[in-house]
Amino acid sequence: MDIKRFETGARMSQAVVHNGTVYLAGQVGVAGHDVATQTQQALAEVDRLLALAGTDKSRILSAQVWLADMADFSKMNAVWDAWVSAGNAPARATGESKLAAPEYLVEVIVVAALA
């Protein structure tokens, strides 16, 4: 089976497709914004990368959402709930974690099926 990599750098690829499944690297928003804005930006990147790989958010199988502070859970969820494809909510886990830089408040990682 072929492996396709998208936006590949020395350290990582932003998306990898193998055997009908798309794996995305963690997506973050722009530092300096609040958690709602960063969530919108991260989800926009998820949309963009899924389209690049040949699929869309209605095909997401699972998602992991990492928050720098669980106090932001409801703010992140408000953005997520408006974004997620109706009737196609993926399996999802949300946790609190120290992210790569203190300016990042949320990181979203998804696995999706090809369309």
pLDDT at 26: 98
Phi-psi domain of 51 (left: phi exceeds 0; alpha: psi -120 through 50; beta: other): alpha
pLDDT at 115: 83
pLDDT tens digits for range 5-53 = 999 999 999 999 999 999 999 999 999 999 999 999 999 999 999 999 9
pLDDT tens digits for range 67-89 = 999 999 999 999 999 999 999 99
Q: Which domains does the chain have, with CATH numbers?
A: 3-113 (3.30.1330.40)
The model's pTM is: 0.96
Contact 69, 94 (CB under 8 A): no
